[in-house]
Amino acid sequence: MNLYRKSSKWMFSVPEGQRSRWQIILWWELRRIPYNLILGAVGICSIFLFYFFSSHEPIENGEDIGEPIMILIAPVLINACYALGWIVEAYAPEAYLNSFPGDRRQIGPRFLWMGIQFSLAVILLPTIIWGGLWLFRIVGLRH
């Protein structure tokens, strides 16, 4: 089995049986480092591509293409949202958690997968927009 499959299997696997709140929190916190590594790698690539795509835009003196402080704030916000995953899983009322279809133990992996997708979309959105504008300029659809 290759490294991607092994790490994917570990990332989204849940131990058998009922878990306590502390076990749920531990499950999430053990996955925070790989989560941050994934988003950090994509974020760094996204920043470089963003500045490449936006480097040909005319900018007024004293203005920025993006908000530079967001490069510092984004990781804090992303990790705060990550913490919501285990907060919801560990402390949500039983009636809410039982409304999810299938095995209740799969709520954590589902939330984690949705959180990764959402975070990647947020990180990549400015780059995708500027990449589209750059492509339009290259093919002559935008001056």
The stretch 51-72 carries a mean pLDDT of 73
Read off the pLDDT of residues 75-124 as tens digits, 9 standing for 90 and up: 888 999 999 999 988 888 776 777 777 777 788 999 999 999 999 998 99
Backbone φ and ψ for 15, nearest 5 degrees, come out as: -65, 155
| CB crowding 100-129: b at 16 or more within 10 Å, else e | eeeeebebbbebbeebbeebeeebbebbee
Q: pTM of this prediction?
A: 0.81
Residue range 13-40: mean pLDDT, rounded: 92
Provide the residue type at 126 as one letter.
P
> Which whole number is the average pLDDT over 53-69?
70
pLDDT, the chain, mean: 85
Tell which wins on pLDDT, 1 or 54: 54
Cα distances from 14 to residues 23, 28, 106, 107, 110, in angstroms, run 10, 10, 7, 10, 11
